[in-house]
Amino acid sequence: MTTTVTTPPPDGELPRLRLDKAPLLVLPILALLALPLIGSFPTWVTLTVAGLAMGMMIFIMASGLTLVFGLMDVLNFGHGAFVSVGAFTATLVLLPMQGWMQADSVLMNLTALGLAIALAMLVTGLLGWAFERIVVMPVYGQHLKQILITMGGMIVAEQMIHVVWGPDQIPLPLPASFRGALLIGDAAIEKYRLIAVAVGLMVFVSMFLVLNRTKIGLLIRAGVENGEMVEALGYRIRRLFVGVFVAGSALAGLGGVLWGLYKETLTAAMGSDIMVLVFIVIIIGGLGSVGGCFIGALLVALVANYTGFLAPKIALVSNILLMVAVLLWRPQGLYPVAKR
């Protein structure tokens, strides 16, 4: 057995843990590099805001998944089902309340949308609870089975959407007050994208506060690092996991509603389609890291928007290239979580 003798630092001082700023700097550097390539400042502003909005929505969908993986080492390939179910559930409120959605009143628009989001999060949260109990729990610790059974779960969910809502696409127009664009100078910024950015920031700040200012948050952070030790301190990690799974599913439902309104069309496969981006984001961010997931989502979306404008042919593979570049720089992701 090899042991290393550890002595305290001579002056008793320790290196303070500094915030790793390098991943944070990547975003502004990327944006600044894109500006001369794009050539037009208004176009750059429009693309950047579009990228930030898309990134926020991907973050909302991905944040629960990264915590689930970090906390219990579960590969949930069925996470996209909650995105689709959330979006379709919202139509149960939004379609009957079309009058409110198309009314020229911000209050009526927000009320309808708020009710739709609440129902979508409630249904996807409950679905997440059932999914964890029935599908995920029997395959703890078995990654291959997790991949197979959770993908199966997503296929079943998609087919159930076909059964309930039919096979056709469902149009989901934006509320009247969220349509159109704001003109700032020569730059046109869609109102809905600004709202998506605001909602994404609210979700991120809320998660940050919960994770850093509450005992539940402490337990989640500790559980991501060493779940066994959390159990040994007397906490039931499985209950915590179920709670995180439910919250992550509800957030995916919220992301589904936002994504559906962004696309203005719903398909049963919308969840599985976005999962490739979601997985790239959580791998780039560092599995289990909410902060990394946030930066990763913005990075993926900005790269997709910039390359879509500058080199549409490369746009299809731009995120894969981005993931390769990030992993060559930081093999554990932008903000790796310390694991036991």
Residues that bind another protein (CB under 8 A): 1, 3-9, 12, 14-17, 215, 218-219, 221-222, 225-226, 228-237, 337-338, 340
Q: Which is nearer to another protein, 173 or 217 (CB)?
A: 217
Angle between helices 237-263 and 191-213 (to 10 degrees): 170
| Closest distance of CB 238 from another protein, Å | 9
DSSP H or E stretch at residue 37: helix 22-38
DSSP code per residue over 49-73: HHHHHHHHHHHHHHHHHHHHHHHH-
Q: Which of 56, 17, 52, 50 is CA-nearest to residue 293?
A: 56
CA–CA separation, 340 and 338 (whole Å): 7
Residue 26 beta carbon to another protein: minimum distance, rounded to whole angstroms: 21
Residue-wise burial string across 123-133, b where 16 or more C-beta atoms lie within 10 A, e elsewhere: bbbebbbebbe
Q: Are strands 265-266 and 170-171 parallel, antiparallel or unpaired?
A: antiparallel
Is the CB of 8 or the CB of 185 nearer to another protein?
Answer: 8
Give whichever of 3 and 36 is closer to another protein, judged by the CB atom: 3
> Which residues 6+ apart lie within 8 Å of 274 measured at CB?
58, 61, 80, 83, 259
CB closer to another protein, 80 vs 223 = 223
CB atoms within 10 A of CB 208: 14
Nearer to another protein, 17 or 144 (CB): 17
Nearer to another protein, 211 or 246 (CB): 211
Q: How far is the CB of 72 from another protein (least distance, A)?
A: 15
Provide CB contacts within 8 A for 118, sequence distance 6+.
none
Considering the complex, what minimum distance in angstroms separates the CB of residue 255 from another protein?
Answer: 26
Per-residue buried b or exposed e for 157-194, using 16+ beta carbons within 10 Å of the residue's own CB: bbeebeeebeeeebebebbbbbeeeeeeeebebbebbb
When the beta carbons of 105 and 214 are compared against another protein, the nearer one is 214
Closer by beta carbon to another protein, 17 or else 328: 17
Q: And the tokens for 166?
A: 């039919």
Q: How near is the Cβ of 196 to another protein at its closest, in Å?
A: 30
Nearer to another protein, 170 or 222 (CB): 222
Measure the CA–CA gap between 237 and 235, rounded to whole angstroms.
6
Residue 57: CB minimum distance to another protein, A: 27
Q: Minimum distance between the CB of residue 273 and another protein, rounded to whole angstroms?
A: 34
Query: At its nearest, how many Å lie between another protein and the CB of residue 19?
Result: 11
Crossing angle between the packed helical segments 41-72 and 215-232, to the nearest 10 degrees = 30
| Placement of tokens 């029935």 in the chain | 134
Q: How far is the CB of 55 from another protein (least distance, A)?
A: 24
